[in-house]
Amino acid sequence: MKLLLHACCGPCTLEPLRLLLEEGHKISIAYMNSNIQPKTEYDHRLETLLAFARDQGIEVIEGVYDAHAWATRVGSYGPSSETRPDRCRACYRLRLEEAAAYAAAHGFDGLATTLTVSPYQYTTVIGEELADVCAAHGLAPVFHDYRENYAEATRRSREMGMYRQDYCGCGFSKVEADDERAMRAAERARAKAEREIRLAPIKAQKERELAARRAEKQEYASRRARQRAALKEYKKTHANR
């Protein structure tokens, strides 16, 4: 079918596009992601996607970047982890609605999305929202859970030198990602400190043993030097007789 593939970024597009093409669909990509903040990040991800799509001969349709609409419909849920599921659902809905409206107006038969590649997204919710927007616009929802392809998408994107973002997209997700990285760094530092404390007695014993060996070598060298000096003196004394 003539399929519009909503894409969040270049790396996440790799595997869904490959698999959907293998299914025989005629695909165009929709980059409709008003959630991405700041605008420079939005542009960076778009440039990465466009470069890849040009190489593949795939059309990319860019939506309207409307950060205000996102803040009004999604941002009101706030940064709380408790409201995150509802916030993400509203974010999926906003972006997929935009893609579905475009698809219906431009003769597409169905709509798919790359969002399910990430293991950090709410996959079931994505499927529900995709089905709802497609039903509202008379489109066929083409839903696949691509999480098992995440590792391959990661490998391929790194091999291709693609820009890989380190947070989902919105400002809230960036704070969450930064906090998680800080927590992991703190945990690594704590584990390292505990390991050093645990190994300190062993390290101290090894240092004592090393110091003892160095002392033995020094004593041996001193003894040999005295022996050589004594031998030299002996030879000197007896040579004069």
Residue 12 labeled ligand binder: no
The pLDDT tens digits for 155-195 are: 999 999 999 999 999 988 888 877 777 777 778 878 788 88
The pair of three-digit structure tokens given for residue 86, joined into one six-digit string: 């509802």
- Structural domains of the chain in order of their starting residue, each with its CATH number: 2-169 (3.40.50)
The pair of three-digit structure tokens given for residue 36, joined into one six-digit string: 């991405």
> Does residue 122 have a pLDDT over 90?
yes
Q: How many CB atoms sit inside 10 A of residue 230's CB?
A: 10
Residue 170 labeled ligand binder: no
DSSP string, 48-76: HHHHHHHHHT--EEE----HHHHHHHTGG
The pLDDT tens digits for 99-112 are: 999 999 999 999 99
Q: Mean pLDDT over all residues of the chain?
A: 91
Residue 9 labeled ligand binder: yes
